[in-house]
Chain A
Amino acid sequence: MDVVKLILDIIFYPPIYQLLLIGLVGSLVVVIFILWFERKATARVQRRLGPYHVAPRVAGFPQLVADLVRYAFQEVIIPRTVDAGIFILAPIVATILSILPIAVVPLTSNPGYWPVPMDYSVLVALAISTVSPIFLILAGWASNNKFSIIGGVREAFVITAYELIAILSILAASATVLSFNFVDVVEAQSRIWFIILNPLAFLAAFLAVLMATSGFPFEIPESENEVVAGPFTEYSGLLYGLNMGAAYMKRFALSILMALAFLGGWAPYTPGEGILSGYLIPSIIVIAKATVLMMAFSFTRSVYGRFRLDQALDGAWRLVFPMAILGFGLALLEAYLGVV
């Protein structure tokens, strides 16, 4: 029994569990599921089948695994004209940084299972989440390709506009409880979720995450018909897969932040003692909520087209940014009135 307990302790040692198990393995599984769901849902709207031929009995679910294997075994071509060091490092660092926010958020109220001290966890998580776009821009610059540079510049524009909004509106949740502690934020939602108390901030965060993680059809930086693949034009094989995966992993990380800040985290459940009820179950609840959010994101694909860059920025500064500010004001007002 000691061996089992030892293994469990190692696995559920919070930094390892959150960074490796949820961050790496969990996000991979969720991303695969979301990609499959996205393809199936759009296929449903567009009156076709979607992935089917790999294992029809489970509706083609392993198709994405097959794609992943294909990416992994493709030849990685590094053109002679690129800045090879940055070219290789940028997608790797970007991917790691995309999932890093998961390692600093609480997935339970049990202090024994916090990966880091939680006093400023909202700030830290948001701060880490803003670093990865720099490496995408670097990837574009190192590629030494016109389309990559245009894509990188677009990325910079979109990120500047929408990351700010995402941060501001997630911070609104912490303003409501007058604390930067994520646990306080989640505990305050045990009665009523912030999505109901502060729908403005939630909507702003939803739109901002949708745009900032540039999934189809809001992939302005890498829109196929204008800039081929944006910053990733010169990439191939696994590095390209990483680039593509990084966007989804970042979306997953931000969805977890949103689930904690607006959807009540592990809310209906009260974590108890022990690994099972103190850690595993609440973390699965959070991931499930984040997955539902991501499903909502991916459904927009079948309805909308791509915004033009100037329209997207215009919308950000003129519509979504005031909305986020209003949401923040609403949060402060609620804190002042003591609604929570």
Chain B
Amino acid sequence: MDVEELKKRIEEALGGLVKGIEEGKGFIDVIVDLDNIVEAASRLKELGFDHVKSLTVIDYPKENRFRVIYHASSYLDEELAKYIVGIGADVPRDNPRMPTLVYVWRGVEFQEREVYEFFGIEFTGHPDMRPLLLVPQLAEAKPLRKEFIVKEEPIIRVKPPTG
């Protein structure tokens, strides 16, 4: 099975839900509407993509959106295990809310909590929506958004005392 064939299979399985397929190096992203993401993810899971490798969120402040992608792959199907397929949607930046996929892939539970604290995207229906790694005060700053700038401490060179 090559990439083209995989794309065809995904398109067949997802039907009209697919808005577009973007090909990256080493993965495929299937973009759907935000409202359809649960349905699309369920169909992708039925196809054999049984776990999520990475819940990737990229911030595009200029376009006022977050791109949320669930990069899934397969454990039980060795043929599918060679590919990473992402199912993603654009979440508006001013209303960061999307349905949770915990009930599709149980493994994303902690990763969704991570995204919640780092980007402030709220997953409706998540059983346990708390910050995972950060303390609540830090999580409010939403550190992975682009407007959060890390102030690096400068290297201070002190002249050795003369004499």
A and B touch in the complex (CB under 8 A): no
Binding site for A on B (CB under 8 A): none
Q: Could you list which residues of chain A lie within 8 angstroms of chain B, going by C-beta atoms?
A: none
